[in-house]
Each structure stands twice: as C-alpha cells, then as structure tokens.
Amino acid sequence: MNASEKSLRLVVEKWFAPTPAMPVHVTEFGRTTSTQRRYVRIEALRPAGPLAIFFFQHDDGSWNVFPPIAVMPAMRACRLAA
C-alpha cells in the first residue's frame, strides 16, 4: 500500500471527520519504549464525551490504529540427507 494513502492527516479525517465545531487535537506523541516506533494520540470532544485514538507509524510510513507487528527472532532447523 502506498504510504501517502495512509497519511496521518487522512486517517485522522477518516476516523474523526473533524469540523470547525468539533476540531481534533494532538494530545500526546512520541516513540514506543520497546521498538522506538512513532505514535500520536489524537483527541476530539464529542457530545457523548471525549474520543481519543492512538495512531502508529509503520515501516512503510503509513499510519494505522494498530501497532506494527514486532519482528521476532526465529530459528529454523532442517534435516540433512545422509
């Protein structure tokens, strides 16, 4: 997927549909402690109460509501023909 199709601006507009009457605000940003990947917390005040969503940046530059899958160490064994 093209990262420009999942820019932070586009995913925020998709999830929040901000308007001048109900704007969104960045309330937190930084990097995760375990993988040093970027995240942003966006919040909007809705009639039912505040709505906050975390967005995570993936390796391809796209932003999603789910964190990237961590690369885990792997081991492989095979049997050699005798």
Helices (H), ranges, the chain: 8-16
**Is pLDDT of 15 > 80?**
yes
Domain edges within the chain: 3-64
- Are the C-beta atoms of residues 59 and 68 closer than 8 Å to each other? yes
Residue 8 identity: L
Amino acid 78: pLDDT? 79
- Are the C-beta atoms of residues 43 and 17 closer than 8 Å to each other? no
Q: What is the CA radius of gyration of the chain?
A: 18
Beta bridge partners of 25: 43
Report pLDDT digits (tens) over 36-74. Answer: 899 999 999 988 999 999 999 999 999 999 988 877 778
Q: Where are the beta strands (DSSP E) in 1-82?
A: 24-31, 38-46, 49-57, 63-64
**Is pLDDT of 12 > 90?**
yes
The whole-model pTM stands at: 0.76
